[in-house]
Structures are given as C-alpha cells and as structure tokens.
Amino acid sequence: MRVLVVGDPHGKVAKKIPRDIDLVLITGDLGKADLARKRFFGDIERKKKGLPEFEETSDFVKKMWGEIYDSTMKVVKYYSKIVPTYSILGNVGTATDYEIKKEEEKWGIKLPRLRSEMKKIKNFHIVRNGIRKIDNLRIGFLEYFYDVCETKEFGEKDIKNLKRAKKETARAKRILNWFDKIDILVSHQPPYGILDKITWKKAPKSRLGKRLGSKIVLDYVKKKQPKYVFCGHVHEGRGKKKVGKTVVVNAGADGDYFIVDIK
C-alpha cells in the first residue's frame, strides 16, 4: 500500500502529489488558526508583563472561527477527492458543535458547525482514539491530548491545567493499552525526545529548545514496536527516525508530506 502521510496542514494542501497513492493519513490540525494562535501566544507574553489578556469582540470571534472552518473544509475536500482520507484531531480547531453553540450564545452570532460538516464529506473520516483496519493494515489513531510532559516541560503551575493534563494523559494511556498489535500509530504528538524539539524562531523564548513529545507515546512505541508512527505537532521536527524497529515519521506541516510504501 502506498500511503501519503500529510503533516499538520493548517489550511494548506500539498502541491503536485503523486496520484498513484492508496490512502491519505493526516496527523491533525487540519485548519488554519492564525488569529487564535496570535491571541494565545500574545496572552502568554501579556501575562508575563502583568497585563490583562486580549479582549475579544464578537467580530474577532466570528473571524477566528470562520478562518478555521473555511481552511479546514478546503483541506478535507482536497484530499478526499483523491483517495480515502483519515485524520485525527490536533490541538487546533477541535471545538465540538456544543462548544460552538456556547460561543454563539455568548456573543450573539452565528458560527459554522465544523464537526457536522466534515461528517458529510464522502471519503473522509475523523477517527477519535480508535483502530481501523484498512486493507491488511491495523491502524491506531490517537488524537491530541494535553500531556503531563508538556506541563512539566514548561513549568505549568496552574492547578486547573495540571488537573486537566493528568486526566487527559491517563485517558490517552488507557487508549494506547487497547492498541495491541497495530501496524501504524497515527499520533498528533511525537514520542518524547524524537523529532519533537522546538526550534521555531518565532516561538516564545521560554519555549525554545523545549520538547513537545509524549513519554507515554514513547513508552508505547518501545513496548509494542508498531511498524510506523506518523505524527506532527512540532513542525520543525519534520523527518524520520527509528526507535527500535519502529520508523517514526514527523510529517511536518503546511503542505509537507511523506510517501511511505508499506508491504
């Protein structure tokens, strides 16, 4: 089987891809979220300076969700017209229809229901923490979770965030325990220490050199040794590296991809 492994698209699609592929696997973060990211990183810097967080307006919220929706649908429609396409959810643009509804009620605006619309696209599948058998391959899909590793790496002290990280990490560990004898693991986060170092020049200085990989993903890979791990999340980590017999592929972002021939 010839697989097109697409790194976090963020609203961009690969150009001039081979047409003799059988399957597309996407590592999450389908849509572009520049407005949301600018707000998020801006608030980090404002907090350090003792300033209040960015003050949202209904107009900003509408533009922010519109950007995510339009760019996500562009990616989904592009790949699904070629071959069957499977993706996980990353940490960008993952709001549920219920969460969108709450935003609408808060701001008195109308927003598109991204999750519902994606389900209508033929040949496209979002897999949320499950296994799919595709031809002769067993593929496990692990979506983004707020990892305890991340809270430790960045010195998180907020009790609410720490509790969330412990809860989500424990859940992800249980899910991985179900993934027995799979050929491929599609995970948003790379294994810890593998293609996961932050070197992006525009990242906050406090984050440069830190790692965004997951130790429970690393432990799983060392123990179960699937043939491949396809991941993203850390865009500058694009590349391949082996962990035992497992080939880890960080597919990058913004139109990056790898072609992997699997026997």
Six-digit token string for 169 = 């990490």
DSSP-H helix ranges across the chain:
34-48, 58-80, 97-107, 114-119, 148-153, 159-178, 215-224
Give me the percent of the chain exceeding a pLDDT of 90.
Answer: 79
Question: Measuring CA to CA, how many Å separate 14 from each of 9, 152, 235, 255?
Answer: 8, 35, 15, 4
CATH at 75: 3.60.21.10
Amino acid, single-letter form, for residue 127 = V
pLDDT tens readout for residues 6-19: 999 999 999 888 88
Give the span between the Cα atoms of 87 and 75, in whole angstroms. Answer: 11
What does the mean pLDDT of the chain come to? 93
Q: Domain span at residue 90? A: 2-261
Single pTM value for the model: 0.92
pLDDT tens, residue by residue, 27-70: 999 999 888 878 877 777 777 788 888 888 899 999 999 999 99
Q: What pLDDT was estimated at residue 54?
A: 80
Number of structural domains in the chain: 1
Q: Is 67 left (phi over 0), alpha (psi -120 to 50) or beta?
A: alpha
pLDDT of residue 208 exceeding 90, the answer is: no
Residue 223 φ then ψ, to 5°: -80, -45
pLDDT of the residue at 86 = 98
Return the pLDDT at 48.
78
